[in-house]
């Protein structure tokens, strides 16, 4: 099977390239090779590659910038997805598309199920929901949340930098979700592909956290591992204390029971995977 991974230089894309199963011919493409904002060039690129499966890990993810750059955001998160879905439908191939907890409004009192009603709050979430709607019936949609990985810009690496540079850090404590290690996400994606899954599935690491909880764990694990020389106070704040152009869902927990039931595998806690990521970050040097 020939698989094309779009967004191959990003967090999820890089992890997918590293974890491709034996017997899969995988090719990665980043922005330089494949411009998702150019529909003609995109379709020509797909036609030239002739993949059996595309995993679309590319996205416009600048949540706050999207509020003032909606055209580009929709071009990548909605229009390009439609082009990919149509191209694969014509060739008889399949599309696997990654989406986000931001398609929900965060008002739920329980983890979001794959078929729950979506109500995005900002441009980014609305564009991702529109991209979901562009998929075909046989395509595979996987939503995830709070993704991080070694060697990339994300909450973990930002916290490590701030904890080295500042006397204290302030972190939002009233937004709840589940951190997800990109390698964990990639392994689940490949398993769903192997199982021939279609429709909507969720994947995040097990457990629950606020961004504040996550930051505390990052400092504790990084100190124990020698990534940080000293500890700094971590101050919990409210979302209203840190206004941003785009609203964030207050509750972003995804129900992954459908995924785990299909795959019949375990569900690793986010703190365990945080340790693995920090170990990888340490050995990067």
User: What amino acid positions are annotated as catalytic residues?
Assistant: 124
For residues 194 and 233, the answer to whether their CB atoms sit within 8 Å is: no
Distance CA 106, CA 260 (A): 23
* Closest residue by Cα to residue 147 from 185, 97, 104, 109: 185
Distance CA 148, CA 156 (A): 7
196 HSE (CA, 13 A, CB side): 0
* Three-class DSSP category at 42: helix
CA angle 179, 114, 242 (to 5 degrees): 40
Residues 6+ apart with CB under 8 A from 79: 39
**What is the radius of gyration, based on Cα positions, of the chain?**
19
């Amino acid at each position: 099977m020939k698989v094309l991974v779009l967004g191959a230089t990003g967090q999820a894309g890089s992890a997918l390239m590293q974890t491709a199963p034996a017997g899969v011919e995988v090719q990665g493409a980043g922005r330089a090779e494949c411009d998702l904002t150019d529909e003609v060039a995109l379709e020509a690129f797909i036609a030239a590659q002739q993949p059996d499966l595309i995993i679309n890990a590319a996205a416009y993810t600048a949540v706050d910038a999207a509020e003032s750059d909606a055209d580009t955001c929709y071009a990548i998160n909605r229009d390009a997805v439609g082009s990919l879905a149509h191209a694969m439908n014509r060739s008889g191939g399949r599309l696997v598309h990654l989406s986000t907890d931001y398609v929900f409004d965060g008002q739920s009192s329980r983890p979001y199920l794959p078929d729950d009603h979506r109500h995005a709050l900002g441009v980014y979430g609305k564009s991702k929901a529109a991209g979901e709607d562009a998929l075909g019936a046989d395509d595979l949609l996987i939503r995830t949340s709070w993704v991080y990985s070694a060697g990339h810009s994300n909450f973990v690496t930002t916290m490590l930098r701030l904890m080295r540079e500042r006397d204290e850090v302030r972190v939002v404590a009233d937004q709840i979700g589940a951190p997800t290690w990109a390698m964990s996400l990639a392994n689940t994606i490949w398993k769903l592909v192997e199982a021939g899954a279609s429709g909507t599935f969720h994947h995040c690491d097990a457990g629950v956290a606020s961004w504040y909880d996550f930051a505390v764990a990052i400092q504790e694990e990084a100190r124990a591992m020698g990534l940080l020389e000293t500890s700094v106070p971590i101050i919990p704040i409210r979302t209203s204390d840190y206004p941003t152009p785009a609203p964030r869902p207050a509750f972003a927990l995804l129900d992954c029971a459908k995924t785990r039931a299909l795959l019949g595998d375990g569900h690793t806690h986010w703190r365990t995977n945080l340790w693995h990521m920090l170990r990888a970050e340490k050995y990067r040097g």
